[in-house]
Chain A
């Protein structure tokens, strides 16, 4: 099961990197959020995927899943959600201001000479 998850998140990272390397700003944002999905899946896998109940205490339950990765993922999801929201608004704003969503048309810092 772990092997399958690792391959899956490998594929997700591949897709994310491919999208980040493209020129359209929206594709880049989709790529970065796909990478954060992959990382969250990997974090879940890192605790081990053995069989067990969800970590809510019950009297006759013996084995539980590892609760720590779940708490970590919950935090990581919220953070990446906030950053993605900020990034999307920034993309909207720069499309209005600069009139393009093509990264290679951005000529930011003036060159010497």
Chain B
């Protein structure tokens, strides 16, 4: 166990930056600089923390120096460090992307402040080791996501954010309920301590009920099958940079929370929870595929692709072998990066053409060859063509599914890749080929730079997967054998 104050900085630096941004007032240029510098500093610190965790193992910080089950602990194992690094990286690039795309009115009214508070909440949720603290950090980034969703106040945003807020308020209420139930059984709130005590209980039936309640809560946040109904509408409403942040980061926190709670608390509850999660994940993939095939709207196609990815990652969790969790984590990181990149590219197309219906578009390849090539590579990467980043995750998950005898799951995942490829290549063919129209050419150089950077990161993640394997393996270790996580905190 290594004590280090370093863990706190990815959480408090965005918070301090957000407070500074509130004080600045209505100076958009200054706000841009402060927000960018704040996230850049956070990025360097998270990178340093990542290297530290890789070299020296899990970092633990007990806040206020109280002994472990009694205080809030921050735990940064490999998985947390990796996710915090990816989140901060995406936020840095997204802030640069926002300069040309979000619009000066929104920048004047606390847009960057909300982004920074969202980063605080996300980094906190990834590093906390306390279940109620996880709830609090969930609320931190949810409330800032409400603000980001509503900022600008157009009619569609008002209508959709009411539904979004209602769904999230209800599921947060049930989160508190689930914590209360678990507390009345276990009598502890520290996740490692709870894990230790849950595995000592003889009657697991009450734990099964808690598990189903937790699945209900996190499946709502992540947009899994019966509870995804809010996702397509709510993500359609806000402007593109906000949509990209939501699509890349918010649903993935639900997935991360499922990973943690399932591996720490519910891995021994047996066949019921396992089957429920597996069937829900497969149905999520299938319904995502139906949505991705049904629409001719670029935003909607990519939004339904989020659902497909969530299903695949959850299958990686449910199989719960070493290979499956490695695949799940590869795919989680890949999906965060590539979804951000795809939404950015779609945002550029929309900025040029002011249109989202692919049947009304065409011929962009003549004027924007770089955009076309980048989109093509991102699309192939999303589908998982071998040298690119989506391949390794799916490879490991399918391999694990075959080994464990889940043939139908493996087939569903493989077929879903075809649907993903078809849906994104349809966009490519319609938008970039065919008869051209004339467009007013707006300034897109900064947006383009951000999108290309993001895609290059995705390519590097694919090409360097071999050398990243030790990192992912370490990250998967604390999921598929939760004893290491418990042991790292020194709980007896």
Contacts of A106 in B (CB 8 A): 159, 162
Q: Answer whether A42 and B160 are a contact pair too, CB < 8 Å, given A109-B236, A112-B296.
A: no
B57 within 8 Å of A by Cβ? no
Q: Which of A41-90 contact B (CB under 8 A)?
A: 42-43, 45-48, 68-69, 72, 75-76, 79-80, 82-83, 86-87, 90
Selected contact of B165 from candidates A46, A72, A83, CB within 8 Å: A83
Q: Which of B162-204 contact A (CB under 8 A)?
A: 162-163, 165-166, 169-170, 172-174, 176-177, 179-181, 183-184, 189
A91 within 8 Å of B by Cβ? yes
B9 within 8 Å of A by Cβ? no
Cα distance A54–B139 when bound, in Å? Answer: 29
B139, B153, B162 interface centre (most CB from chain A within 10 Å): B162
Q: Are A72 and B179 in contact (CB under 8 A)?
A: yes
Cα distance A20–B167 when bound, in Å? Answer: 10
Q: Answer whether A112 and B297 are a contact pair too, CB < 8 Å, given A20-B166, A42-B177, A90-B161.
A: yes
Cα distance A101–B305 when bound, in Å? Answer: 33
Number of contacting residues on A, CB 8 A? 38
Q: Are B165 and A39 in contact (CB under 8 A)?
A: no
Q: Answer whether A112 and B294 are a contact pair too, CB < 8 Å, given A39-B180, A97-B155.
A: yes
Selected contact of A112 from candidates B150, B158, B300, CB within 8 Å: B300
Q: Are B143 and A94 in contact (CB under 8 A)?
A: no
A15 within 8 Å of B by Cβ? no
Nearest CB in chain B: distance from A39 CB, A: 5
Contacts of B159 in A (CB 8 A): 94, 98, 106-108
B172, B174, B233 interface centre (most CB from chain A within 10 Å): B172
Q: Are A69 and B180 in contact (CB under 8 A)?
A: yes
Cα distance A108–B150 when bound, in Å? Answer: 13
Selected contact of A109 from candidates B139, B179, B233, CB within 8 Å: B233
A28 within 8 Å of B by Cβ? yes
Contacts of B150 in A (CB 8 A): 90
Contacts of B183 in A (CB 8 A): 43, 46-47, 68-69, 72
B132 within 8 Å of A by Cβ? yes
B328 within 8 Å of A by Cβ? no
Selected contact of B169 from candidates A25, A43, A83, A103, CB within 8 Å: A83
Nearest CB in chain B: distance from A103 CB, A: 8
Contacts of B177 in A (CB 8 A): 39, 42-43
| Chain B interface category by residue count | 35 or more
Cα distance A68–B139 when bound, in Å? Answer: 19
Nearest CB in chain B: distance from A91 CB, A: 7
Q: Are A32 and B169 in contact (CB under 8 A)?
A: yes
Task: For A17, give the chain B residue with the smallest CB separation.
Answer: B170
B295 within 8 Å of A by Cβ? yes
What mask results when residues 21 to 46 of chain A are scored 1 for a CB within 8 Å of chain B, else 0? Answer: 00001001000100110111011011
Cα distance A47–B180 when bound, in Å? Answer: 8
Nearest CB in chain A: distance from B350 CB, A: 14
Q: Are B162 and A79 in contact (CB under 8 A)?
A: no
Contacts of A82 in B (CB 8 A): 143
B146 within 8 Å of A by Cβ? yes
Q: Are A32 and B166 in contact (CB under 8 A)?
A: yes
Nearest CB in chain A: distance from B134 CB, A: 12
Selected contact of A39 from candidates B139, B153, B176, B296, CB within 8 Å: B176
Cα distance A38–B174 when bound, in Å? Answer: 10
Q: Are B233 and A72 in contact (CB under 8 A)?
A: no
Contacts of A46 in B (CB 8 A): 180-181, 183-184
Nearest CB in chain B: distance from A4 CB, A: 16
Q: Are A42 and B180 in contact (CB under 8 A)?
A: yes
B136 within 8 Å of A by Cβ? yes
Selected contact of A108 from candidates B146, B160, B166, B170, CB within 8 Å: B160
Q: Sample 17 A-B pairs with CB under 8 A, ordered by A number.
A: A32-B169, A36-B169, A36-B176, A43-B183, A46-B180, A46-B181, A72-B132, A72-B180, A76-B176, A80-B173, A83-B169, A83-B172, A87-B162, A94-B159, A94-B162, A109-B232, A112-B294
| CB-CB nearest 6 A-B residue pairs | A46-B184, A108-B159, A46-B180, A43-B180, A94-B158, A106-B159
Q: Which chain B residues have a beta carbon within 8 Å of chain A's beta carbons? A: 132, 136, 139, 143, 146, 150, 153, 155-156, 158-163, 165-166, 169-170, 172-174, 176-177, 179-181, 183-184, 189, 232-233, 236-237, 294-297, 300, 357
13 further A-B pairs in the complex, CB-CB below 8 A; given A72-B183, A108-B237, A112-B294: A36-B176, A39-B177, A39-B180, A43-B176, A46-B181, A79-B136, A80-B169, A83-B165, A87-B169, A91-B162, A103-B162, A109-B160, A109-B236
